[in-house]
Amino acid sequence: EFDTKDIGYAKLSKENPNLLYTTITPFGQTGARRHWKGNALTTAAMSGLLYLNGLPEEPPNQPAAEQSYHMASLVGAWGTLIALQDRFNTGQGSRIDVSIQEAASMATVQTANPNFYTWHKQIPTRGGMRHFGSRHLYLCKDGKWVSISIRPVRWTEFAQWLKDEEVTPDLTGDEWLDPFYRRDHQDEIELAHADLAGKYNRDELVDLGQSKRMLMVPVNQVNELSEHTQLRERGFFQDVTYEEVGRVLEHPGPAYQFSKTMPSSYVRAPRVGEHNSEIFAKYLKLDDAELRNLRDRGVI
């Protein structure tokens, strides 16, 4: 498809041998399925990710937030960075061909470990929320939700807390010290955790759990995130002026702070084609006639 539009790697690399050319397509540019169309759902299905996602008693579930696209984006970024280093070393460009199906399959490496079949003759299946500890969302007394993730190192203290709260079932028996027993009896653990969450308002439970060094965090709504004290004190949100609409909007910033490379200012989102002249004329040295030609052909 890229070649038919005269923007294929073979053509462009003749003009610029230093070119780094990255494409991200459903099934890559080679192989029997290279001409197949696809989207986040179909590539997740064919990667095996969809088959492993969801509850074991239900049909496969599409992973939320178009995970196969995000995996492919990461692979594309990694591949391009590696190619950039290679160009620095050799002076030559590279062709980076990313298959969304292959990229999404990387997300199944742990769950779909081939040793499941090699060693145990078991085909990996949907595990739902089964885990050696506990990891799930629970509804609190005030109608809000809390995320609880109990690591094995905290299991004994957590089970005792549940008993002190008169939560059922009792998880303090010696059998519960075995992580494989906990994995196989996850449904009982979920009942106990749901019982605990139902006794408290969300923020109350989070504060109490964190005071006991338990990993509990609130499930925030968008307005709660905007008002979050921690984010406000870190200066995560910044005002940005949109002169064309006469409004000042808050933009989220980076999730990390570097001592020497923090952005000095935040800018509004660019308008469509706003920087075309700067990029194509200043950096690519295209003249007005060439730009008109590209516009007429629908390239830009």
238 occurs within a structural domain: no
Place of tokens 């298959």: 99
Owning domain of residue 49: 3-120
**In degrees rounded to 5, what are phi and psi of residue 118?**
-60, -45
The residue among 170, 199, 224 that closes a domain is: 224
165 occurs within a structural domain: yes
pTM: 0.60
Do 9 and 114 lie in one domain? The reply is yes
Do 180 and 274 lie in one domain? The reply is no
Do 208 and 144 lie in one domain? The reply is yes
Tokens of 126: 């949907």
242 occurs within a structural domain: no
3-state class of 248 per DSSP?
strand
The pLDDT profile of the chain, 300 residues, written as one tens digit per residue, is 678 788 889 889 998 999 999 999 999 999 999 999 999 999 999 998 888 888 888 898 888 889 999 999 999 999 999 999 999 999 999 999 999 999 999 888 766 566 667 776 777 777 665 555 556 889 999 999 999 988 888 999 999 999 999 998 999 999 999 988 887 888 899 899 999 999 999 999 999 999 999 999 999 998 999 999 999 998 889 899 998 889 999 988 888 888 888 766 778 888 888 888 888 888 888 888 988 888 888 888
> How many separate domains does the chain show?
3
Tokens of 283: 């950096």
Is there a contact between 33 and 40 (Cβ–Cβ < 8 Å)? no
CATH number of the CATH domain containing 158: 3.30.1540.10
